Amino acid sequence: MATKIPIAQKRLFANVFICKDCSKKIRTQAVRVIAHKVKCPRCGGHSFRPIRKK
């Protein structure tokens, strides 16, 4: 079994959100997502969810 490397986990999952409408990944701060100040570059939506760790 491979061990999880903390640096790689942070790079892949920290501050990454997925657009609920078009599934585009975007890296931004959580407070900006909560305040709806982030707009999806692909569809223009304002609803995002955090990325799931696999």
The pLDDT of residue 4 is 84
Classify domain 6-50 by CATH number.
Answer: 2.20.28
Distance between start and end Cα atoms, the chain: 15
Which amino acid makes up residue 15? Answer: N
pLDDT string in tens for the chain (54-residue length): 567 899 988 988 999 999 999 999 999 999 999 999 999 999 999 999 999 887
Instruction: List the domain boundaries for the chain.
Output: 6-50
Q: What is the CA radius of gyration of the chain?
A: 13
User: Quick check: pTM over 0.85?
Assistant: no
The pLDDT of residue 3 is 78
The pLDDT of residue 1 is 56
